[in-house]
Amino acid sequence: MSHPLPLSTQQTASSARSDLLRKGYCVVDGRLPRGTIEFLGQWSDDWLDGFERPDRWKYQGSDIHVIGLRNPAKRYPDYPKDKVVDFLIEHPSEIMDELGLGDFKAGGAFQIISKPKNGPPLYWHQDWARWDDPLSMSPWPQQVFLNWYLSDTNRENGCLRVIPGSHLKRFDLHERLVPPHEGGGYEVKETNEWMFFDHPDAVDVPVQTGELVIADARLLHGTHANKISVRRTVLLGWYFRRSNEVPVDWNGPIPEEIRNRDPKTPFVFNRQPGEFLR
């Protein structure tokens, strides 16, 4: 595996941004201060040990939502609050700027997702919920997730796997997947052929502790099973573009559907890709 360099040069930042636009994800140095991983590991363990694991967490492992104090999630005011989430939200700001994502705003919450020892794989899914909107065709990301892994990951302990390019191009899986999580994913059987399909276009995304995965919400992704006796934890945060307009610095092609998009197009929650994924 080739390891990403810190985003210290325009060339490196340009390469990472190219991966994000073309493949739908990139892996960069998270620039975490010394001792941060150990601190976050203990912090997340404390949260995990204090929660009873419901059946719906079978495939995710856990799904604890915590919001910041300075950066509250306005949609979820009743989530527990912790200042550590403010660090997780604010620390990547320089990295986001260098990747051309400076116009993104954090949703205010981070999820503690920990696959327990011998935990099953996470099914294929994507997390975009605006498939009725022409913005679904945007060649730039409108919504991304940031993954901080608290240990090295590989196929044995349940690393991320993705289908590069699936954020912009329709694949056979799109027609066959059950909507994720509360949409039906919680209830699928491990024998479901398509939800856990060993797709020929899938690639593993193993990372080293301290690296940061940034991925488009439209990207098809899942994880391998955790086959070892130690749980594998990731801290996941969502970031959204502040605007639905074309980015001011965008100099690439713009789909005609977006050029003609009504700026008053309402948000309609729909996780099923339709006509705007081709």
Q: What is the pLDDT of residue 10?
A: 44
**pTM higher than 0.85 for the full model?**
yes
Mean pLDDT of the chain: 94
Q: What is the pLDDT of residue 97?
A: 96
Q: What is the pLDDT of residue 20?
A: 98
pLDDT average per 10 residues of sequence, the chain (278 residues):
45 90 96 96 96 93 96 89 97 96 96 95 98 98 97 97 98 96 95 97 96 97 97 97 95 97 96 96
Q: What is the pLDDT of residue 9?
A: 41
DSSP string, 19-69: HHHHTSEEEEE--PPTTHHHHHHHHHHHHHHTS---GGGTTTS--EEEE-S
Q: What is the pLDDT of residue 76?
A: 87
The span from the CA of 41 to the CA of 236, in Å, is 14
- The closest of 17, 48, 79, 8 to 250, measured between CA atoms, is 17
